[in-house]
Amino acid sequence: MSAILCSSCGKELEDDNINFCISCGGLFCSDEFDNNSELCQECVKNGCTSLF
């Protein structure tokens, strides 16, 4: 019974609201995740999309 928490805001994540960032490896709620780039907002801000 371990709750999964958003790496950014600490909100508890439901099974259908878990987003995995391939750049930093964190798990994020939909608020902190950009579905277009499949990265968290932090990595989008850092421009990690172009590094790969």
Smaller CB distance to Zn ion: residue 1 or 10?
10
Q: Is 37 exposed, middle or buried (0-12, 13-18, 19+ CB in 10 A)?
A: middle
Smaller CB distance to Zn ion: residue 2 or 25?
25
Smaller CB distance to Zn ion: residue 23 or 49?
23
d(CA 10, CA 30): 12
* The binder of Zn ion chosen from 19, 27, 32, 34 (CB under 5 A): 32
In the complex, which residues of this chain contact Zn ion (CB under 5 A)? 6, 8-9, 11, 21, 23-24, 29, 32, 40, 43
